[in-house]
A = this chain, B = another copy of it.
Amino acid sequence: MPPEELPTRRLTVLDCAPLLSGTPLDEAGADRLAAALRVLAEPARLRIVSLIQAQPDREACVCHLTEVLGLSQPTVSHHLRVLFESGVLARERRANWVYYRMVPGALAELRQALGESGQPLAGGVTRG
């Protein structure tokens, strides 16, 4: 296995119409959006993203995350890989350590796909 870093794959959620727009999702669009949501629909991965954002410099190394999460190092590495390959996190090696940080705009894409489309529905103003 070559020691190269995997290329960052960006989310392609926005190729489909927002969830609450007038045009329904086709099968392919639903599959893509579901895959993007599945990346975050996991407690350990949510905590990883949250922990990274909570750092003063908005980045964290694997050892720190492993310590805080209380999971084994391979498990944390697995989740980081999922987050990296889905385009949520970026990584950079410095000496012995690998630092992960958020990819700007990755979550905003998901929020838009969930219906941030100017539709009046989700504003919560239509109550009673």
Contact = CB atoms under 8 A, between A and B. Distances in A.
A82 interface: no
Contacts of A27: 43, 47
A51 B119 CA distance: 13
Copies of this chain: 2
A89 to B, nearest CB: 12
B50 A24 contact: yes
A6 interface: no
Interface in A1-57: 1-2, 13, 16-25, 27, 30-31, 33-35, 37-38, 40-44, 46-47, 49-51, 53-56
B108 A53 contact: no
A78 interface: no
Nearest to A45: B34
6 contacts: A2-B99, A25-B46, A34-B46, A37-B41, A38-B41, A46-B121
Interface of A: 1-2, 13, 16-25, 27, 30-31, 33-35, 37-38, 40-44, 46-47, 49-51, 53-56, 61, 63-64, 67-68, 94-97, 99, 102, 104-105, 107-108, 110-111, 114-117, 120-124, 126-127
